[in-house]
């Protein structure tokens, strides 16, 4: 029986070759690197005491450096066990849980036809490449130069140009003896019963060849040169060769790149062709992209064949957030022990192409380093815009997490997710409980009795209660970005005057900063505040420097001294520092309240729109605009500096005296 190459490829991809060979050998624990799918054993084909038999899951191949044997799944079984080839295919299919195709007398004919179609696609690729270098390809070449692509990169990805002609490719293929049915079967022309004469599908477009896992051209993506084109990007239609939801752009090259030291065994999924190409030119050769649609479950399976934890990278805009949320649902269904995904979100208004072209590779590497696990994304999505201040709302949040975790197919992973979400919910709800005080001798309340519990709840809340906006900000800023001046004033004042941590503990414990490293630093300050008598400012700074916060504190000090906000420095008297801290805190709290009010109004507008309540919409829109205007004023102007003018003068005067 003859088997299609595509069916054999599917079996190789579904069954790690180490699973097959591991039934016959014992892997050497010292030389084997399980996380990279790199296995070593004593060769089963010849006697040896030192392991020289090497097996790579990503390549689906084995090789013995002692006797020289090499091959794939099927050769291993035919040569070691003497199976016939159909028997070997049957055994691997059984391991994969795939039924053998029914005997088909036309299978061999279809295989020959597919091979012929591959030849036609190769002819089309060369035609597009040649036309890119021709006179009418000059605008396309200029566009690619403006996008920062080198000649080497253009050649590596075999980019081309489809001329603005209805029949240029069609006539070229016909001159090479390609039959009408063949270029129609390849999806290179638009045809049908209502079209009298077929015509080229791609016209006046930069062409991106799409390759199979075997690195054969199976389809094209075309980027329109004209701004008036109905579709900016156009892909080949589904054909015998091409099934869009089962293919990733740059898959074969990324699989090789992931094996190199730079790839570190992982792969990055970005959103577009140009992102992949720009990253490759920047030295990041392990990136892939779906083909103009959201990531599918089949495409995620392809990623998992390369690495157990791919990174899904999304643009930092609303569309990117929606795509990330869809990917969360797809990933949950496919989780297994040791198999997951991470999420990286780019700065708003930036895609990978923009980032590496404008700023080099380092910012993109920082985004990748800050990639978040799937569990964090689940938490942030479900808590993003909600207010959970009543038992009913808390119950609704619990129910939402119940629905999410129920989608996880693997029982052991599902159990751990249920436990993880329960711990997050407990910490989240604890942080919002009223704090219990103890009356002091003056008839007031002391914060000391409830401080430890409040601190644990507040710090847990900072860990877990993160909105999507906060997550994006954290990922975008990275660890070296400078915090806002307002946030720097708050934290730098606490560094220089640690006594305020205890006296203003309730307000300090409620702070949540967008800047990741600043939030970590605040957590350490709260630790100092709960360790009994507050240390002196110099001791706090010395400890923070020892823990790796020196660069951040230096950045904040430069900000504050340049803005001449002396109340935040160690030179200020404690009461002046307190007054300055409370002014900055008031601005922080007002900005945060406006953000929450904006979220509520947007939800009300969505509900009114959905229910058709046109009477309420105008007032809601006016309220939203008013809130947005005030929020922008607080965020964009450095109002905080004006608020410190009198205090700054007083502190400087005191220092002069």
Residues 152 and 21 placed together within one structural domain of the fold: no
Answer whether 649's CB lies under 8 Å from 576's CB: no
Dist CA 483 CA 552 (whole Å): 9
Contacts of 378 (CB under 8 A, 6+ apart): 328, 332, 401, 404, 417, 421
More reliable by pLDDT, 389 or 96: 96
Of the residues 96, 122, 147, the one at which a domain ends: 96
Question: Does residue 470 register a pLDDT over 60?
Answer: no
Residue 462 — pLDDT band, cuts 50, 70, 90?
very low
Give the pLDDT confidence score for residue 530 in this predicted structure. 52
CATH number at residue 197: 3.90.980.10
Q: Comparing 64-78, 104-118, 438-452, 518-532, which segment has the lowest mean pLDDT?
A: 438-452
Question: Does residue 323 register a pLDDT over 90?
Answer: no
Q: What residue numbers bound the domain in which 354 lies?
A: 245-478
pLDDT in tens, 515-548: 878 888 888 887 765 544 455 777 888 888 887 8
pLDDT in tens, 619-648: 878 888 887 777 766 655 444 443 343 333
Residues 312 and 440 placed together within one structural domain of the fold: yes
Dist CA 200 CA 203 (whole Å): 7
Give the pLDDT confidence score for residue 416 in this predicted structure. 95
Give the pLDDT confidence score for residue 460 in this predicted structure. 46
Question: Does residue 375 register a pLDDT over 50?
Answer: yes
Structure token digits, residue 524: 């350490």
**Dihedral, CA atoms, 411, 412, 415, 416, nearest 10 degrees?**
-150
Give the pLDDT confidence score for residue 71 in this predicted structure. 92
Give the pLDDT confidence score for residue 290 in this predicted structure. 92
Residue 124 — pLDDT band, cuts 50, 70, 90?
very high
Residues 210 and 254 placed together within one structural domain of the fold: no
More reliable by pLDDT, 258 or 419: 419
Q: What is the average per-residue pLDDT within 40-63?
A: 88
Give the pLDDT confidence score for residue 247 in this predicted structure. 92
Question: Does residue 310 register a pLDDT over 50?
Answer: yes
Q: What is the average per-residue pLDDT within 189-216?
A: 91
Residues 520 and 584 placed together within one structural domain of the fold: yes
Give the pLDDT confidence score for residue 258 in this predicted structure. 81
Dist CA 287 CA 149 (whole Å): 16
Residue 349 — pLDDT band, cuts 50, 70, 90?
confident
Q: Whole-number mean pLDDT of the chain?
A: 81
Dist CA 137 CA 160 (whole Å): 9
Of the residues 242, 265, 294, the one at which a domain ends: 242
Of the residues 44, 74, 96, the one at which a domain ends: 96
Residues 316 and 447 placed together within one structural domain of the fold: yes
More reliable by pLDDT, 572 or 645: 572
Question: Does residue 454 register a pLDDT over 80?
Answer: no
Number of H helices, E strands in the chain: 30, 17
Question: Does residue 183 register a pLDDT over 50?
Answer: yes
Q: What is the average per-residue pLDDT within 38-56?
A: 88
Residues 183 and 264 placed together within one structural domain of the fold: no
Residue 105 — pLDDT band, cuts 50, 70, 90?
low
CATH number at residue 48: 3.90.580.10
Answer whether 221's CB lies under 8 Å from 210's CB: yes
Question: Does residue 45 register a pLDDT over 70?
Answer: yes
Question: Does residue 486 register a pLDDT over 90?
Answer: no
Question: Does residue 422 register a pLDDT over 90?
Answer: yes
Answer whether 311's CB lies under 8 Å from 266's CB: yes
Residues 464 and 496 placed together within one structural domain of the fold: no
**Dihedral, CA atoms, 126, 130, 132, 135, nearest 10 degrees?**
-160
Residues 555 and 540 placed together within one structural domain of the fold: yes
Residue 274 — pLDDT band, cuts 50, 70, 90?
very high
Phi, psi (deg, nearest 5) at residue 447: -85, -15
Residue 474 — pLDDT band, cuts 50, 70, 90?
very low
pLDDT in tens, 577-624: 998 898 888 888 888 888 778 777 777 777 677 666 667 777 878 888
DSSP string over 14-36: HS-HHHHHTTTS-B-TTT-BGGG
Answer whether 344's CB lies under 8 Å from 475's CB: yes
Number of domains making up the chain: 4
Helix H segments across 442-573? Answer: 448-464, 468-477, 485-496, 499-503, 505-509, 516-529, 537-546, 550-562
Residues 108 and 40 placed together within one structural domain of the fold: no
Q: What is the average per-residue pLDDT within 169-183?
A: 91
Residues 454 and 364 placed together within one structural domain of the fold: yes
Q: What is the average per-residue pLDDT within 435-459?
A: 42
Residues 551 and 599 placed together within one structural domain of the fold: yes
CATH number at residue 326: 3.40.1360.10
Strand partners, 373: 342
Question: Does residue 79 register a pLDDT over 50?
Answer: yes
pLDDT > 90: percent of the chain: 36
Q: What is the average per-residue pLDDT within 22-27?
A: 91
Q: Which of 170, 172, 196 is nearest to 184 (CA)?
A: 170
Question: Does residue 77 register a pLDDT over 80?
Answer: yes
Question: Does residue 347 register a pLDDT over 50?
Answer: yes
Residue 1 — pLDDT band, cuts 50, 70, 90?
low
Give the pLDDT confidence score for residue 149 in this predicted structure. 94
Residues 441 and 295 placed together within one structural domain of the fold: yes
């Amino acid at each position: 029986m003859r088997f299609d190459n595509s069916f054999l490829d599917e079996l190789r991809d579904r069954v790690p070759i180490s699973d097959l060979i591991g039934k016959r050998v014992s892997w050497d624990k010292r030389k084997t690197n399980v996380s990279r799918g790199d296995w070593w054993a004593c060769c089963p084909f010849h006697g040896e005491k030192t392991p020289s038999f090497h097996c790579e899951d990503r390549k689906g191949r084995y090789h013995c450096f002692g006797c020289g044997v090499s091959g794939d799944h099927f050769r291993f079984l035919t040569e070691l066990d003497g199976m016939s080839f159909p028997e070997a295919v049957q055994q691997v299919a059984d391991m994969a849980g795939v039924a053998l195709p029914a005997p088909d007398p036309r299978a061999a004919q279809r295989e020959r036809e597919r091979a012929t179609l591959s030849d036609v696609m190769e002819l089309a690729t060369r035609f597009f490449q040649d036309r890119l270098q021709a006179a009418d390809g000059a605008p396309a070449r200029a566009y690619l130069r403006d996008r920062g692509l080198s000649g080497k990169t253009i050649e590596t990805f075999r980019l081309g140009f489809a001329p603005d002609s209805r029949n240029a490719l069609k006539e070229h293929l016909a001159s090479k003896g390609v039959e009408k049915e063949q270029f129609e079967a390849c999806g290179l022309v638009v045809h049908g019963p209502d079209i009298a004469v077929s015509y080229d599908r791609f016209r006046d477009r930069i062409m991106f060849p799409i390759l199979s896992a075997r690195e054969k051209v199976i389809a094209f993506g075309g980027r329109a040169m004209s701004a008036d084109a109905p579709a900016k990007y156009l892909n080949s239609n589904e054909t015998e060769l091409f099934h869009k939801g089962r293919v990733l752009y740059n898959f074969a090259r990324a699989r090789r790149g992931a094996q190199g030291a730079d790839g570190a065994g992982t792969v990055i999924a970005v959103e577009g062709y140009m992102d992949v190409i720009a990253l490759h030119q920047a030295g990041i050769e392990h990136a892939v992209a779906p083909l103009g649609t959201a990531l599918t479950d089949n495409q995620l399976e392809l990623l998992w064949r390369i690495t157990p934890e791919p990174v899904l990278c999304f643009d930092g805009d609303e569309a990117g957030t929606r795509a990330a949320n869809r990917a969360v649902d797809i990933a949950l269904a496919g989780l297994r022990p040791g198999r997951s995904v991470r999420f990286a979100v780019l700065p708003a208004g930036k895609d990978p192409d923009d980032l590496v072209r404008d700023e080099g590779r380092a910012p993109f590497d920082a985004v990748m380093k800050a990639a978040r696990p799937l569990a964090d994304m689940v938490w942030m999505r479900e808590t993003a815009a909600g207010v959970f201040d009543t038992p009913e709302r808390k119950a609704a949040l619990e129910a939402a997490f119940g629905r999410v975790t129920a989608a996880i197919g693997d029982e052991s992973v599902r159990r751990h997710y249920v436990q993880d979400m329960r711990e997050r919910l407990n910490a989240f709800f604890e942080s919002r409980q009223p704090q219990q005080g103890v009356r002091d001798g003056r008839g007031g309340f002391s914060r000391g009795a409830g401080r430890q519990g409040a601190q644990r709840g507040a710090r847990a809340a900072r860990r877990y209660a993160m909105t999507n906006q906060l997550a994006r900000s954290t990922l975008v800023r990275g660890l070296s970005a400078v915090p806002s001046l307002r946030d720097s004033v708050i934290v730098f004042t606490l560094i220089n005057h640690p006594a305020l941590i205890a006296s203003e503990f309730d307000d300090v414990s409620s702070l949540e900063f967008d800047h990741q490293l600043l939030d970590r630093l605040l957590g350490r300050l709260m630790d100092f505040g709960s360790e009994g008598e507050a240390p002196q400012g110099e001791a706090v700074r010395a400890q923070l420097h020892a823990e790796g916060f020196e660069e951040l504190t230096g950045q904040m000090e430069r900000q504050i001294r340049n803005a001449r906000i002396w109340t935040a420095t160690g030179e200020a008297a404690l009461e002046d520092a307190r007054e300055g801290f409370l002014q900055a805190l008031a601005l922080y709290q007002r900005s945060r309240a406006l953000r929450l009010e904006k979220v509520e109004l947007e939800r009300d507008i969505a509900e009114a729109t959905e229910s058709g309540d046109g009477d309420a919409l105008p007032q809601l829109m006016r309220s939203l605009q008013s809130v947005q205007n005030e929020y922008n004023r607080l965020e964009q102007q450095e109002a905080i500096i004006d608020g410190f003018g009198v205090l700054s003068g007083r502190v400087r005067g005191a220092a002069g005296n």
